[in-house]
Structure 1
């Protein structure tokens, strides 16, 4: 008895696709490890942002305290205090920018890990 050609070809193609599309256990483990590393990097990026924002806020509060303490001071002391407070606020801005760059770099690394799958 002769088997029909078209159903045989379809069955062969289906089996070939089924066997080639399955990931091996090792591949699944590798992908899971990459996903876990990417998740860890994103959590670290969130922590970096949180810590950076806290440091910048503390720096700004210190600048506000310097200004408040200088209210009753002499003019020369006020100018000096104002300059220190301005420098502290500039530092807070720098902290925020540096923190954001670091967090974005971590997120880019997380994306690269996910793309490596």
Structure 2
């Protein structure tokens, strides 16, 4: 998952600015990134639900959980700046 980690880095760099409009922009960008990640997690969960192989379903559920955690991390990174 290189994109979410890169997104967090960009958010941290961009959020170092001190003006309120820039902070609002960073938060909005973070929310869009997090929403995209959550949609991907939902897709992984739906795929897991429709997969007959229990091992594959468990792997997909784990991946979905990881993506949801990354969405939370993006939001947290934006809020701490």
Asked whether the two chains share a fold, i.e. TM above 0.5, the reply is yes
The alignment status of 1:72 with 2:35, answered yes or no, reads no
* Structure showing greater Rg: 1
Moved >6 Å (runs of 4+): none
The answer to which structure, 1 or 2, has the higher relative contact order (CA under 8 A, 6+ apart) is 2
Alignment deviations for residues 29-83 of structure 1 (CA, whole Å, 9 cap, x no partner): xxxxxxxxxxx81100000000001101110110000111122211001100000
The unaligned stretches of length 5 or more in structure 2 are: 1-17
Q: TM-score scaled to structure 1, two decimals?
A: 0.52
- Cα RMSD between the aligned structures? 1.2
Q: Normalising by structure 2, report the TM-score.
A: 0.73
- 5+ residue gaps, structure 1, are 1-39, 103-117
What aligned pairs does 1:11-90 form with structure 2 within 5 A after superposition? 41-73=19-51, 74-90=53-69
Aligned residues: 63
